[in-house]
């Protein structure tokens, strides 16, 4: 590390004028920003990400054309301005958008950033052989053109109310054409360039050693150098250990998404050297109910197939009964505390999309009545309902995490009260969120009866998120379990409403359609929203400038983070 620091100082000296050392500058050159994550990055190409950790690590280097503030308003990044009808950026017919790019932006290797890089990024993401995880954000595009070096025109296949989805936020990071044009197609995922990024952001990637991903200040950055000489990202750190290192020991500066219990969080935060920042967006901790049979296989060996309905979860009355039996308020208050808010909405934010008329369902009497109506009763006196020789036994899987395990126990007790037996299963985080078709414990295989995880819209426009419940998005052997509808839900009425919303240009009418989708999913009880969950990051008192947004990664503004003492010095400067 000492040799690395020496070489970085020398490189910085070559690329910028030599000046006498001031105290803040000397401090900056010897400062390291340390970040902790529960999962270790696997790639630094965001379009090939396998999870949040890859987006977080890539966003330190790469940038989109624009992103979103916490209130959902758009913020230009590589673009000069946000397109509007008034500035000619949004066509009157809703079929095209024109982005004007900032001049004099350079990649970290010194090459100029131009409209051709945006065109290339679309080509890369939309290539079916690449199989980019972000491809769905670009499906509506007909073509992307470089009008001149600083102007990009996007034409859509039809009038598009979701014009802001491509090239924005964490799904919109721009790749350099001169680096990636030779590694397109089927070989893209194995390309070494995925771990040797050249970006336009405030930091550039240096190396990964012993699980630590190291970045240095990008001397080509268009604005002032960031306050830290190095950024060091460490993965594979448990939430409790991460919280302890940031809030108690002071050996790290930032810990991502501290999913620890209320008592632990309060104890670590009391008289600590940091704070826990809770950022609420559209993410919802939910229980998915499986309407297919996870124990019965097709001739091809596929379990949880739509060919084989679940012996009792295929009955909407049973699913509704389970929903009625679980008290969301207790889960939110007792397990999540100020890191979670009770919700019955799959789309709780922005508020214009929520349905104020959806009732909270907790009612044990109603749950019992529905189960009786469906014909499930305890006929042998063993405390478990049965019918036709089948007992109501459920396997409930979640990723390993103390908060989720507490919720599992709560749900197990709740369902025991209505005579349904639950077996809790814990799955490692990497296995549960794996995209590997061979990993049968993944959430998309869903070889269990219930599963719980956190998900939601990562942009203020929820069209992609709400498309997860479309009939043609069902995860299956045929698509190698790569599609997002792991609940195997299919309702033609829902598909019809979603299709209307995807074309509706009137914002008020569009909001009503999303509210209608919320209602359909609630009535069908294929998914049980529990808690609108915050991203709870641990932030050391030694750093300032952290301004989280729910619509981008936690590292979206890392270029503005600085040591607290530097911030104090700047504020005192006359």
Q: How is 165-189 classified by DSSP, letter by letter?
A: STTBGGG-PPPPHHHHGGG-GGGGG
Nearest to 200 by CA among 63, 56, 47: 63
How far apart CA 509 and CA 494 sit, in angstroms, is 16
Structure tokens belonging to residue 202: 């405030």
DSSP E strands in 203-314: the ranges are: 203-209, 212-217, 230-234, 254-255, 274-279, 282-289
H helix or E strand, kind and range, residue 390 = strand 390-391
Query: Where does CATH 3.90.76.10 sit in the chain?
Result: 62-192
**Helix intervals (H) in 417-491:** 429-432, 463-466
Residue 320 pLDDT = 97
* Residue bearing tokens 């550039």: 204
Query: Where does CATH 3.40.190.10 sit in the chain?
Result: 28-45+54-59+201-278+535-561
CB 204 within 8 A of CB 216: yes
Residue 30 pLDDT = 55
Residue 10 pLDDT = 35
Q: From the first residue on, what is the mean pLDDT of each consecutive set of 10 residues in the chain (574 residues)? A: 34 34 46 95 95 96 97 96 97 96 97 98 96 95 98 97 97 98 89 96 95 96 94 94 93 92 76 88 96 97 97 98 96 89 92 88 96 97 97 97 94 98 95 92 97 95 96 95 95 98 95 95 95 94 95 97 70 45
Residue 20 pLDDT = 34
Q: How many CA atoms lie within 13 A of 330 on its CB side?
A: 12
Residue 338 pLDDT = 82
Query: Where does CATH 3.10.105.10 sit in the chain?
Result: 282-459+525-533
How far apart CA 268 and CA 391 sit, in angstroms, is 44
Report the CATH architecture of 282-459+525-533: Roll (3.10)
CATH fold for domain 62-192: Dipeptide-binding Protein; domain 1 (3.90.76)
Report the CATH architecture of 28-45+54-59+201-278+535-561: 3-Layer(aba) Sandwich (3.40)
Residue 50 pLDDT = 87
Q: If 0-12 CB within 10 Å is exposed, 13-18 middle and 19+ buried, where does residue 552 land? A: buried
CB 539 within 8 A of CB 269: no
CA distances from 344 to 323, 404, 527 (A): 10, 18, 10
**Rg (Cα) of the chain, in Å, rounded?**
25
Calculate the CA 540 to chain-centre distance.
Answer: 23
Residue 13 pLDDT = 33
């Amino acid at each position: 590390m000492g040799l690395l620091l020496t070489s970085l100082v020398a490189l910085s000296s070559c690329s910028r004028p030599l000046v006498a050392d001031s105290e803040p500058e000397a401090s900056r050159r010897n400062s390291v920003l340390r970040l902790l994550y529960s999962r270790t990055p696997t790639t630094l190409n965001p379009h090939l990400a396998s999870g949040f950790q890859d987006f977080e690590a890539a966003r330190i280097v790469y940038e989109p054309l624009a992103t979103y503030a916490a209130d959902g308003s758009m913020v230009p990044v590589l673009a000069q301005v946000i397109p509007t009808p008034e500035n000619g950026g949004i066509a009157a017919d809703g079929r095209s958008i024109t982005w004007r790019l900032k001049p004099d932006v350079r990649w970290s290797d010194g090459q100029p950033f131009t409209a051709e890089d945006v065109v290339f990024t679309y080509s890369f993401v939309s290539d079916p052989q690449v199989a980019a995880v972000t491809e769905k954000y670009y499906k509506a595009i007909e073509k992307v053109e470089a009008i001149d070096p600083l102007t990009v025109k996007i034409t859509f296949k039809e009038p598009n109310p979701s014009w802001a989805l491509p090239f924005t936020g964490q799904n919109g990071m721009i790749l350099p054409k001169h680096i990636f044009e030779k590694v397109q197609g089927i070989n893209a995922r194995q390309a070494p360039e995925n771990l040797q990024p050249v970006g336009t952001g405030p930091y550039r990637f240096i190396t990964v050693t012993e699980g630590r991903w190291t970045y240095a200040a990008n001397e080509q950055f268009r604005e002032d150098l960031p306050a830290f000489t190095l950024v060091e990202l460490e993965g594979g750190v448990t939430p409790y250990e991460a919280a302890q290192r940031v809030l108690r020991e002071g050996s790290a500066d930032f810990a991502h998404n501290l999913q620890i219990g209320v008592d632990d969080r309060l104890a670590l935060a009391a008289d600590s050297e940091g704070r826990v920042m809770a950022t609420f967006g559209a993410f919802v901790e939910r229980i998915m109910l499986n309407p297919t049979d996870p124990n019965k296989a097709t001739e091809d060996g596929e379990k949880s197939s739509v060919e084989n309905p679940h012996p009792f979860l295929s009955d909407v009355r049973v699913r509704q009964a389970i929903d009625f039996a679980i008290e969301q308020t207790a889960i939110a208050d007792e397990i999540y505390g100020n890191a979670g808010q009770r919700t019955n909405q799959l789309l709780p934010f922005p508020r214009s999309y929520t349905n104020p008329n959806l009732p909270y369902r907790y009612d044990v009497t109603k749950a019992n009545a529905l189960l009786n109506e469906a014909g499930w009763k305890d006929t042998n006196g063993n405390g478990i309902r049965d019918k036709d020789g089948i007992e109501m036994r459920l396997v409930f899987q979640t990723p390993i995490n103390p908060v989720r395990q507490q919720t599992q126990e709560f749900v197990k007790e709740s369902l025991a009260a209505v005579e349904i037996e639950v077996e809790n299963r814990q799955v490692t985080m990497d296995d549960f969120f794996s995209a590997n078709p061979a990993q049968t414990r993944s959430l998309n295989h869903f070889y269990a009866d219930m599963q719980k995880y956190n998900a939601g819209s990562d942009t203020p426009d929820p069209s992609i998120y709400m498309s997860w419940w479309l009939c043609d998005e069902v995860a299956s052997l045929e698509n190698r379990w790569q599609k997002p509808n792991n609940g195997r839900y299919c309702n033609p009425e829902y598909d019809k409403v979603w299709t209307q919303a995807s074309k509706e240009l009137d914002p008020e009418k569009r909001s009503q359609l999303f509210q209608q989708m919320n209602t359909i999913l609630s009535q069908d009880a294929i998914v049980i929203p529990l808690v609108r969950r915050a991203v709870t990051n641990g932030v050391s008192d030694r750093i300032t400038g952290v301004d989280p947004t729910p619509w981008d990664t936690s590292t979206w503004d890392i270029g503005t983070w600085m040591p607290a003492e530097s911030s104090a010095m700047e504020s005192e400067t006359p």
